Structure 1
Amino acid sequence: MIVLNVFLKVKPNARQHFLELFHEVIEESRKEAGNLHYQMAEDILQENTFLLIEHWKDEQAIEFHHTTPHWDKLVSSIDDYLAAPTVLKQYQQN
């Protein structure tokens, strides 16, 4: 299993649109065959700072995810919402 943790800092004035976009991304990603877990949480100490937690069966599942319409929609608009670059951490569970 591959675990991805994605840290996102969102512009305060873009928060609502960001949450609407991610609601769709989360819903659609959870339907993918290789997805084991997909969740977003907000930092309780840093407003508008989010952690996206993804668990994927394998690298092929992630590659498929990156070909989906909801991924394309996310990638094409995410920069409009971010106050800082995303930080991605990837882990392999043995």
Structure 2
Amino acid sequence: MIIIHATFNVIADKHQAFIEEIQPLLEVSRAETGNISYDLFKSTDKDNIFTMVEVWQDADAVASHNASTHFTSFVGKAGNFLAAPLDVKSFDGQAIY
């Protein structure tokens, strides 16, 4: 299982545009083969920070997602919303319980 945390530091006055732009990515990504979950969370203590938490079955599912039109389209627009570079961390994990 591959777990990805992508942290977005969104420009203060672009929150709504960011949310509108990322909604289609969320919906379509959740339907992809190999996707276990794909959720966006807003920080509870920092207004401009959002974290995408993705869980994929394997590296092939991640590679397919990263090559998809909906993903590459969003990535091409993401810079318009970000106050800092995207911070992405990837983990190879297995559920313990």
Regarding TM over 0.5, the answer is yes
Which residues of structure 1 form unaligned runs of 5+? Answer: none
Distance 1:5 1:66 in 2: 14
Distance 1:67 1:92 in 2: 20
State the match for 1:10 in structure 2: 10
Most deviating of 34-43 and 63-72: 63-72
Q: Which runs of 4+ in 1 moved over 2 A?
A: none
Distance 2:42 2:30 in 1: 19
| CA positional deviation for 1:76 | 0.9
Aligned-CA RMSD value: 0.9
Q: Secondary structure at the match of 2:67?
A: coil
| CA positional deviation for 1:15 | 1.0
Distance 2:89 2:29 in 1: 18
Distance 1:47 1:55 in 2: 24
Q: What are the superposed Cα offsets for residues 55-88 of structure 1, whole Å, 9 maximum, x if unpaired?
A: 0111110110012121121111000000111111
Q: Secondary structure at the match of 1:4?
A: strand
Distance 2:86 2:56 in 1: 19
Q: TM-score, normalised by structure 2?
A: 0.92
Q: TM-score, normalised by structure 1?
A: 0.95
